[in-house]
Amino acid sequence: MEIFSVLVADESPVYRKMFARSVTGINKNAPLTFVGSSDETIALVCRCSYDIIVIDAEISGSGLVSLVREIKRVQPDTYILITERPSSTNSGLFNKVLAAGADECMTKPLYDNYNDNLIIIRQKIRDIVKAIGKYSPKAITTAGSKGKETLSVPEKMSDNSDNKLPFAPDIILIAASTGGPSALEFIITDLPSTLPVPILIIQHMPEHFIDTMAKNMDRKSKLKVKVAVDGEIVAPGTVYIAPGGVHTRLGIRKKITIDDSPPIGGLRPAADMLFESAAEAMSVKNALVIILTGMGSDGCEGVAKLKHKKDCFCIVQSEQTCVVYGMPRVVEEAGLADKVLDLDQISSLIESIGGMDKRAK
C-alpha cells in the first residue's frame, strides 16, 4: 500500500478523532494533519502537498468556495471532501463548492453509537484512497461471498451491436456517487417526455443537495423529476431521486417505502437496498440497471440478486467518461455488466425503450 497524506480542516475534537482512527486504520504511517480554520488550511496547502483534504463546511475564516478554489489552484490533483452537519441547509453552497472543484460532499454521521459513525467515516476514507490509486483492495466478490447467500447468476447476455435492449423493462434503476450529479443531468435531460417507464435513482449526496439537484433537473428535463416520497407509487415518465439520509425500497405495486434502517456499507441510501427490494418485488418483472460514476461497490450485490431473480440488463458507465471508475468497475469485474457505454450511448439506449424517438422530445 502506498503512503497517502491527509489534511483535516475541522474544529470538532470528536470528528478529528474519528478521522484519525479511520486514516491510521487504513495505513498507520499515513501523514495526518489537523487545522481549525480556512486560513490555516491555505497556509499549509501552500507549503505541503496533500492527497486528501477534508473540510468542514462551517470551518471558520474565509469563505468555503474561495477556499476550495485556492486549494485547487495550488494543488489541482488533491481530492477534496466537504463534510456537513445533518441539520445543514446549505444545498446552494454545495452546488457552488462542487463547481469550484470539490470532489464530493458528505453528511457527517451522527448516530448514537460511536462505532457506527466511525465505520461510515472509515469506509469513506477507504473509498477515496482507492479512488486516488493509493490502495490495492483485495479481490472483490459478489455472488458467493463468505457469509452471504450464494447466487446463481444467469450467463451474461450477448452484446448487442445495435445498442438496443433484449427486452422492454418495466423500471429503470440507477446508482451513482462521485461525479453522479452531472452524469445524471446529462442522461435525464436528454430523454423525451414519452418515456414509458419510471426511473428510480440512488445518488450518494447530502440530503439537502438531493432536493436542490431534483429541482434543477426538473427545470431542465422534459420528464418530471422529484424526490421520492414514502408511500407513492412510481409512474411512467417520472424520475424519482431517493432522499438523503434514509433508505428507499420498492414494494407491492411499485410502491416506494422510505425507512431509517442502519446504513449499508456506510451508505444511506444504498443502491443495494433498492436493488434487492426490487429483486423481491412481485411488481417488477424486467429491470434495466445503470451503474454510473462513483466510489466503492454499492449496487454490485443488488445487481447480482436482480439477475438471479428477474430479467435484468445492466449497463455500466465507461471508464473514460467516469469521474471515478469505482462502482462501474466492481460490477464489470464481477461479470454482471451486459454493456459498458459512454454517457451519450446510455441515453440513446434508454430512448430505444418502446420505440421512443428523440423527435418526441
Q: What does the pLDDT look like over 90-144, one tens digit per residue?
A: 666 777 888 899 988 888 888 778 888 888 899 889 888 888 876 544 333 333 3
Q: Average per-residue pLDDT in the chain?
A: 86
Q: Measured between alpha carbons, how far is 322 from 346 in angstroms, rounded to an integer?
A: 13
As a dihedral over the C-alpha atoms of residue 90, residue 96, residue 102, residue 105, rounded to 10 degrees, the angle is: 20
Give residue 361's pLDDT band: very low, low, confident or very high (50, 70, 90): very low
235 and 256 Cβ atoms separated by less than 8 Å: no
Spatial CA neighbour of 169 closest among 83, 285, 65, 62: 285
Average pLDDT in the 212-231 region? 94
Q: Measured between alpha carbons, how far is 224 from 202 in angstroms, rounded to an integer?
A: 16
Alpha-carbon distances of 353 from 195, 285, 288, 348, rounded to whole Å: 8, 15, 10, 9
φ, ψ for residue 325, nearest 5 deg: -90, 70
Task: Please determine, for residue 145, whether its predicted confidence score (pLDDT) is greater than 50.
Answer: no
Q: Checking DSSP bridges between strand 238-241 and strand 199-203, what pairing results, if any?
A: parallel
Q: Measured between alpha carbons, how far is 59 from 10 in angstroms, rounded to an integer?
A: 6
4 and 129 Cβ atoms separated by less than 8 Å: yes
Q: What architecture does CATH give domain 6-131?
A: 3-Layer(aba) Sandwich (3.40)
Q: Checking DSSP bridges between strand 52-56 and strand 6-9, what pairing results, if any?
A: parallel
CA–centroid distance for 253 within its chain? 26
Q: Measured between alpha carbons, how far is 316 from 291 in angstroms, rounded to an integer?
A: 5
pLDDT the model gives residue 279: 96
Q: CB-hemisphere CA count at 13 Å for 97?
A: 28
pLDDT the model gives residue 87: 65
Task: Please determine, for residue 78, whether its predicted confidence score (pLDDT) is greater than 60.
Answer: yes
pTM score of the predicted model: 0.77
Q: Measured between alpha carbons, how far is 237 from 219 in angstroms, rounded to an integer?
A: 15
Task: Please determine, for residue 262, whether its predicted confidence score (pLDDT) is greater than 80.
Answer: yes
pLDDT the model gives residue 357: 45
Q: Measured between alpha carbons, how far is 32 from 206 in angstroms, rounded to an integer?
A: 25
Give residue 159's pLDDT band: very low, low, confident or very high (50, 70, 90): very low
Locate cell 434508454: which residue? 350
pLDDT the model gives residue 77: 92
Helix axes 271-280, 300-309, angle to 10 degrees: 10
CATH 3.40.50.180 in the chain is located at 171-360
pLDDT the model gives residue 135: 54
* 89-103, 188-202, 243-257: the lowest-pLDDT one: 89-103
- Cell digits of residue 244: 438523503
Q: Measured between alpha carbons, how far is 169 from 149 in angstroms, rounded to an integer?
A: 26
Give residue 43's pLDDT band: very low, low, confident or very high (50, 70, 90): very high
Alpha-carbon distances of 358 from 194, 345, 347, rounded to whole Å: 9, 13, 10
Average pLDDT in the 252-277 region? 92
pLDDT the model gives residue 158: 38
Q: Is the dihedral of CA 353, 285, 282, 201 positive or negative?
A: negative
pLDDT the model gives residue 313: 96
CATH T-level assignment (fold) for domain 171-360: Rossmann fold (3.40.50)
CATH 3.40.50.2300 in the chain is located at 6-131
- Cell digits of residue 124: 469513506
Spatial CA neighbour of 237 closest among 143, 361, 349, 146: 361
The percentage of the chain sitting over the pLDDT mark of 90, rounded to a whole number, equals 61
Give residue 163's pLDDT band: very low, low, confident or very high (50, 70, 90): low
Average pLDDT in the 154-172 region? 67
Average pLDDT in the 221-239 region? 96
* 69-78, 144-153, 324-333: the lowest-pLDDT one: 144-153
Write out the catalytic residue numbers: 177, 204, 298
- Cell digits of residue 324: 471515478
Per-residue pLDDT reduced to its tens digit, 301-320: 999 999 999 999 999 999 99
Average pLDDT in the 351-360 region? 59
Q: Which amino acid is at 81?
A: L
Task: Name the region of 296 (left: φ>0; alpha: ψ -120 to 50; beta: rest).
Answer: left
Spatial CA neighbour of 157 closest among 311, 278, 327: 311
